[in-house]
Amino acid sequence: MIRAAVKIAYLGEHFSGSQMQPGVRTVAGDVLSDLERAAGLGGGDPRLRLASRTDKGVNALGNVAVFDSGVDDPAVLLRALNAVSEYVFYRGVALVGEGFNPRFADNRAYRYVIPSQGMDVGAMGACAEMFAGEHDFARFCRQDGRPTTLTMDAVTLREGDGVAVIDFSARYYLWNLIRRIAAAVMAVGKGDATLEEVRGALCGDDLSFGVARPDALTLMDVRYGGVEFAPAAGVSAGRVEEGMFRNRLRGMFLESL
């Protein structure tokens, strides 16, 4: 029996969030099902834990699932999981000890993508930069009792291919924090809000800029000091190719309208 930490990826459109919920499809539920089919756990408790919670519709390229497995070879485990999974991609694996807690990460990286056509990208970049450093984000989160002051290591915006991409780096985040920041950045880009208004909200003014859509948000990676993930060999190439072909068909249809 091993304790494995596995990098997982998924499109949020297929799930009602990452955490187990009765009666709906979730990431944790799919991982448990995949483990039962691929690793032959026979209904035993794999003590599954996820590094980061993602809401309904939010994507991930580098969330981490930790569980017990009777398959002792990590490479075989990844191949087996990718062979049976429908919507979760198993991208890398590391063996960890009993005391490893995936919630205690050194860094989490997120990305939010915004259409840039008709937007003041320069103003958006200036707005995004304001959120770097230590701030009280009380006006930019859904409060759940946790302290609202944290340090954002970096917030950067770049433009390319008709979109503006905001990259976030921090040890942890508050509920809806990134989507509320993205909403403020978009409001500035559209001219619906000023940099002074956003700065005022960051200083405690009673202002809200809404919550941006979930499907434009991706958890890019979760990192731990001293933990190296061995990449999977050919992550479900057939599923990836089929997904890209379906997207191309959809794009051709929409372009024809």
Structure tokens at 168: 């976030």
**What distance in Å separates the CA atoms of residue 24 and residue 29, rounded to the nearest whole number?**
9
Residue 48: DSSP 8-state:
-
Spatial separation of the C-alpha atoms in residues 73 and 233, rounded to whole Å:
14
Residue type, 92: G
Which runs of E-coded beta strand occur in the chain?
A: 2-10, 49-50, 59-69, 89-95, 107-115, 133-136, 149-160, 163-170, 217-223, 230-231
Spatial neighbors of 20 by CB under 8 A, at least 6 apart, are 26, 28, 29
Instruction: Out of 30, 34, 55, 221, pick the active-site residue.
Output: 55
- Report strand pairing: 107-115 vs 59-69: unpaired
Whether residue 55 lies in the annotated active site? yes
What is the spatial distance between Cα 249 and Cα 2, in angstroms, rounded to a whole number?
42
Catalytic (active-site) positions: 55
